[in-house]
Amino acid sequence: MTSRGNVSARFPDFPWDTLASAKARAAAHPGGLVDLSIGTPVDPTPEVARDALVAASDAPGYPTVFGPEPLRQAAVDWIQRRFGVRGLEPSQVLPTIGSKELIANLPVQLGLGAGDLVVVPELAYPTYEVGARYAGCEVVAAGSTVSLGPRVPALIYLNSPANPSGQILPPDHLRKVVERARERGTLVVSDECYLEFAWEGEPVSVLHPDICGGSFDGILAVHSLSKRSNLAGYRDAFVTGDQAIVSELLEVRKHLGFMMPTPIQAAMAAALADDEHVDVQRRTYAARRADLRRAFESAGFTIEHSHGALYLWMTRGEPCRDTIDWLADRGILAAPGDFYGAAGAQHVRAAFTATDERVAEAVTRLTR
């Protein structure tokens, strides 16, 4: 078998591979590496999810792509209880094997390709662009000087609270995007995996009646339990919204075999039904965020946005790779802003998902 194409021609370099030298430099610090580059959970998976996983572990048969109705009902109940989204039915919820998988494959699974235009945020999680280019689409960043002319985007991604900046989009902005997209027949896909983590301001789902007018037509929202419930290792998420599009994705994914394992389905349903563990985790992150924010500001960083999500978005007014080197000399690894688009060229992103001990060590090094 021979390859049909050069991987490097189809995809950009995997961003974190470009951090190898900085990581090695930071790891050589006498106190060890403080890794703030990736927002991976480090705190325990909640017992309610683990217990459900174990109880469902005798699962010799194949799961279904759609998942059982109680799982989908748990998702409906959660988004109504926590975010005031009304009118969703279990048939409008589709479990996915993590949200990255869904976003990476969404343009292909929707049948998009050459000649289709996808709009991503100016500062964006790289997978939005990677998935669109994988399908052969053209990608334009919101706020770009590139003229769209008469072309109508097939798909627009939103992300609030945003990765990497933590920006929370105001309701008026979300409403205008939805209204304009509907006028043009453009699908809006809102990545809302950080919706439960807001520190300043109040994020709102694109499915809230104040935003969508009570209709889910032309809208999808993507939710993940990786951050909410420390379930990144379980790979459980879901997409919900427009019934016709969810049904289309279901049929495609049946053919392709995108099935969430049965024990994971049970863990997901149990975690969605429990809010207490999320409230505990939010308090933990709030304390780490406050400590790191004070330390970075004392070290001369200017923090921008960072009103939600699990990151501090900041600058020293210099090229981001110079800042990465400055931090690496202190044994700290962050993510360079150029991972997320040209607009991040002078910023870095620091996650506050490290352990309390590593956060305290970072604070000491930054304030020494």
Dump pLDDT digits (tens) for 224-280. 999 999 999 999 999 999 999 999 999 999 999 999 999 999 999 999 999 999 999
Query: What is the pTM (predicted TM-score) of this model?
Result: 0.94
| Cα 134 to Cα 101: distance, rounded to the nearest angstrom | 13
Is the domain of 24 the same as that of 111?
Answer: no
> Which percentage of the chain shows pLDDT scores above 70?
95
The domain in which residue 118 lies consists of 47-273
Query: Amino acid identity of 316?
Result: R
Q: Give domain status of residue 2, yes or no.
A: no
Is the domain of 241 the same as that of 330?
Answer: no
pLDDT tens-digit profile of 326-352? 999 999 999 999 999 999 999 999 999
Is the per-residue pLDDT at 3 higher than 70? no
Averaged pLDDT, 21-40: 96
Q: Residue 1's pLDDT band (boundaries 50, 70, 90)?
A: very low
User: Does residue 129 contact residue 288 with C-beta atoms inside 8 Å?
Assistant: no
Is the per-residue pLDDT at 14 higher than 50? yes
CATH of the domain at 186: 3.40.640.10
Residues in the chain: 368
Is the per-residue pLDDT at 149 higher than 80? no
| Cα 79 to Cα 207: distance, rounded to the nearest angstrom | 9
pLDDT tens-digit profile of 283-316? 999 999 999 999 999 999 999 999 999 999 999 9
Is the per-residue pLDDT at 4 higher than 60? no
pLDDT tens-digit profile of 349-365? 999 999 999 999 999 99
Is the domain of 18 the same as that of 87?
Answer: no
> Which residues face 315 on adjacent strands?
302
* Boundary residue ending a domain (247, 273, 299): 273
User: Does residue 25 contact residue 33 with C-beta atoms inside 8 Å?
Assistant: no
Averaged pLDDT, 109-127: 96
Token pair for residue 153?
């985007």
Q: Residue 11's pLDDT band (boundaries 50, 70, 90)?
A: low
Is the domain of 209 the same as that of 309?
Answer: no
> Which residues face 187 on adjacent strands?
155
Averaged pLDDT, 87-98: 98
Is the domain of 188 the same as that of 211?
Answer: yes
Is the per-residue pLDDT at 205 higher than 80? yes
pLDDT at 18 (0 to 100): 85
| Cα 129 to Cα 115: distance, rounded to the nearest angstrom | 15
Q: Among 42, 29, 14, which residue's Cα sits nearest to residue 310? A: 42
Is the domain of 70 the same as that of 212?
Answer: yes
Is the domain of 208 the same as that of 290?
Answer: no
| Cα 210 to Cα 175: distance, rounded to the nearest angstrom | 8
Q: What string of H, E and C letters represents the secondary structure of the chain?
A: CCCCCCHHHHCCCCHHHHHHHHHHHHHCCCCCCEECCCCCCCCCCCHHHHHHHHHCCCCCCCCCCCCCHHHHHHHHHHHHHHHCCCCCCHHHEEEECCHHHHHHHHHHHCCCCCCCEEEECCCCCHHHHHHHHHCCCEEEECCCCCCCCCCCCCEEEEECCCCCCCCCCCHHHHHHHHHHHHHHCCEEEEECCCCCCECCCCCCCCCCHHHHCCCCCCEEEEEEHHHHCCCCCCCCEEEEECHHHHHHHHHHHHHHCCCCCHHHHHHHHHHHCCCHHHHHHHHHHHHHHHHHHHHHHHCCCEEECCCECCEEEEECCCCHHHHHHHHHCCCEECEEHHHHCHHHCCCEEEECCCCHHHHHHHHHHHHC
CATH of the domain at 353: 3.90.1150.10
